[in-house]
Structures are given as structure tokens and as C-alpha cells.
Amino acid sequence: MDAETDDIRQNKQPARDLDPIDRKILGVLVEDATISYAELGERVGLSPPAAHERVKRLKRSGAIRATSAIIDPRAVKKPLLAFVHIDTRGWGKTPELMAVSKYPEVEEIHTVAGDTCMLLKVRTEDTRALEGLLARLYDTPGVTSTRSYVVLSTYLERPVQPEITPEWPAPKHMANPMY
């Protein structure tokens, strides 16, 4: 786990295309990444070492960005989900973005293609905390307005889903600002 980890960090992408077995593997691991290579192999029709080899390749290529525990927001007292639309005219690239990404309430940050706004997915303990967050966002340099936000009740949810292959702007995985 040395050269291998380095490869992953450097996001080396041999740009190899995914075959049907790779897809199956991704589907299985999105569901449950705790299974053994023996079981994974059985499900996709490979021996344990072969399955291991595949997964290693998928991680190295960046197809599998991380393996993460999915937390129940209720368990951590953050049941209130909201989407916040902020106007970002005069936005200075990464510095401010990093500031926003450090807010523990912010789960996702999306830039809108061809527009000067961003959409944030946030989760707070209650409405009071949400208001506090909005205030902080408004005070963030580069944010000219926090135009609208909708409070939602999560009904169904699942992790990111796979299906096929790549050509697009590089995504940066970020440090967990939580701890």
C-alpha cells in the first residue's frame, strides 16, 4: 500500500475502458464495500485474486474514488436537508470555495455551468442552524447573495451510481472538514 496509494493520490488514469465485469464490480461495491474478495469474485465470476486485481486497478484509475462509510444524518443530529442557491459574482476561484467547503454543514458544492451561481447541499440540526449557516454564507467573500433555499425531507437516498467511461474536467477530492 505504498506505490499503490501514491498512484491513487496522483489520480493516475491509464484511461482504460471499463468492461462488463468492471461495471458489475462497481455495482456490487457501491452496494456494499465490506464484502471479501472471495464473495466479490463469486458474484462477478472471478477468483479472489482476480477480483482483487480488478479492484486495485479501478482504484488506481480513479474509477473508485474512495470507500466511505455512509452515515445516518439523524444519528449525528443533522436531519434537516436543504439546497442553497448562492450568487457568486466576483468569485475568486479556489480560496473562497475552500472556505465554504470547510463549513461542516455543507455536503456538496456544485457550480452551475454557464452561470454565476453555485448550488450547495447542506444539512443542519434545525432551522436555526440553517439560518446561521445562510448568514455565514452571505458574509463569505465572493458571495453576493444567497438567493433561495428549499428545505426538504429526505425520502430515499443512495450513493453515487455507476454505468460506463470518462472524458471531463478533473474532480478534486477534498479533505474532510469535519474533524
Q: Which residues bind DNA (CB under 7 A)?
A: 1, 16, 21, 35-38, 41, 45-50, 52-54, 57
Sign of CA dihedral 126, 131, 136, 142: positive
Q: How far is the CB of 124 from DNA (least distance, A)?
A: 28
| CA–CA separation, 81 and 107 (whole Å) | 10
Q: Which is nearer to DNA, 52 or 85 (CB)?
A: 52
Q: How far is the CB of 26 from a second copy (least distance, A)?
A: 6
101 binds, among DNA, a second copy, none (CB under 5 to 8 A by kind): a second copy
Q: Which of 174, 161, 178, 154 is nearest to 72 (CA)?
A: 154
Q: Which of 67, 86, 71 is nearest to 133 (CA)?
A: 86
Q: How far is the CB of 98 from DNA (least distance, A)?
A: 32
CA–CA distances in Å: residue 88 to residues 23, 108, 109, 172, 173? 37, 16, 12, 20, 22
87 binds, among DNA, a second copy, none (CB under 5 to 8 A by kind): none
Q: Which is nearer to DNA, 50 or 99 (CB)?
A: 50
Q: Which of 66, 58, 68 is nearest to 13 (CA)?
A: 58
Q: Which is nearer to DNA, 41 or 62 (CB)?
A: 41
32 binds, among DNA, a second copy, none (CB under 5 to 8 A by kind): a second copy
Cα pseudo-dihedral 33, 34, 38, 43, rounded to 10: -40
Q: How far is the CB of 112 from a second copy (least distance, A)?
A: 5
